[in-house]
A and B are shown apart, each in its own frame.
Chain A
C-alpha cells in the first residue's frame, strides 16, 4: 500500500508546473519574492510546500544545469513524527507523513528537527505545514497534484515497488546515454524516502544532502518520550505553556505569516 513518487531529473525542464499546481490545489497564497541571482523562487519553504532547485555548474567544459523538485521527503524515519509532542504527525496508510491540523499546537519542534528543513510555521493558523503528498487526492484514488501536472513524466506516482523499479530502469537508460554518474536517491536514505529521485549526478550537484539523517535531537526525544505516554494529558497543558514562552524566544518572522528553518536543502545558487 506504500506509495511513492518518482522524480526523474533527467526529464525535468523546471517548468514549475509542480510548484504552481501545489499552490493551486492547496490554495496556498503566493509569497512575495525578489530575484536572488538565479531562477530559483521562492527562496525557502516559508509559505510553500514545494520548490524546484536550480543548480548550475561547469563540468569538463560543459554546462550542467540540474533541476530538482524538493518538498517534504516523507521519510520512513520521519524526524518530525519522532519529535511531535502531540502525535499530530503520523504516517498514513500510504506511508506518507501527514500533520493532523487539529492536533498541531504550533510548537515548532518538527520544524527545528526536520532532516530536510521543509516544514514551515503558519503564524496565522498557528500550525506547522508541509507537503502531505495530497493525502486528500490520494485517499480518493487520485494522483497528487504535482505528479499529475508534471508534463514530461519526470514525476510519476505509484506503488513504491513499481516506482523503485522505474527509477532503476531510468538510471540504466541514463547511463546508456552517457550520463555515467546517474544514480537513485531516496531508496534507503532516512530509512527510505517517499520520493525516489533519479539523479544525473551526485546529490551535491543538486544541492541535496548526500547522507541525510534525522538530527540527534529527534532520536533523543523519541527515546525519551516513548515511555512517557502515561503523563500525556498533563504534558499537553505544560507543553502549551512552555510553547508560548518558547515561541517568544524565536527570531521574529520576516514579512508574512510563515516562519521555518531552511537547513539541509540550501537556498541560493
Chain B
C-alpha cells in the first residue's frame, strides 16, 4: 500500500472543493522559448584553476560580473564537460562574499586584521625585504666563493599562479639572493 500516514492525513484534510482548476490531463505547455540567463552575456574562455588536466571553461559575464561558467565545448580535452570543482567556478568569482578585496595587516601581538592601502603595504613589505636581506646576506662563504645568499628570506608558492607570474617570481626571488625557494611541486 503506497499510502503513507502523512499522505492519508493530507487526504482527510483536503476538501472536495480544492479541485483542480484546469485539466489534469496532460496538456502540452505553450512552446515559448524560455529566456536564457546567459543571453546577451559576454563570453570569454579560461582554463580551470584546479587539477592538472587543464579543462576549458567558458565564462559568461554581464556588467563586469561573471554570471555563469560552463565547460568549453570546443576544448579537445573536456569537450564541454567538467567535474564538480570546475562546475563550481562561479563561486570563485567576485560574487563570493568571502573573496579578499582589501589589503590587510596584522600587527605583532594583535588578534585582528587592519585594513591598509596598497601603497602602504608595498612600501612596508619592501622595507622588510630590504632589511631581512641586508641583515642576513652572505656575500662570500668560508672558502671565499661568491655566494650572494639572502639567508633569512624565504619565498614559497604557487602552483596556481600563471606561467608569467611564476617566471617573474622566480626571477625576482633569485635576484634578491633567495635560496629558500620552494612550493607545492615539491610536496
Contact = CB atoms under 8 A, between A and B. Distances in A.
B80 to A, nearest CB: 6
Nearest to B4: A263
Interface string B27-38: 111011111110
A15 B84 contact: yes
A250 B135 CA distance: 72
A231 B34 CA distance: 31
A239 B18 contact: yes
Contacts, number: 164
B25 interface: yes
B21 interface: yes
B109 interface: no
A161 interface: no
Contacts of B82: 17, 21, 149, 151
Interface residues of B, number: 47
A226 B24 CA distance: 6
Contacts of A23: 88
Interface stretch (A59-67, A76-84, A181-189, A197-205): A76-84
A93 B31 contact: yes
B14 A90 contact: no
A215 B14 CA distance: 16
Chain B CB within 10 Å, residue with most, of A213, A221, A243: A221
Given A17-B81, A151-B82, A217 B7 contact: yes
Given A98-B29, A232-B19, A17 B14 contact: no
Contacts of A228: 19-20
Interface string A1-43: 0000000000000011101110111010000000000000000
Given A136-B36, A137-B36, A215-B3, A229 B13 contact: no
Interface stretch (A106-114, A162-170, A171-179): A106-114
A139 B29 CA distance: 12
Given A90-B26, A90-B29, A226-B23, 18 more contacts: A17-B82, A21-B70, A24-B68, A25-B68, A87-B21, A87-B23, A136-B36, A140-B34, A142-B36, A149-B71, A149-B87, A151-B82, A229-B21, A231-B19, A245-B13, A246-B13, A249-B9, A249-B13
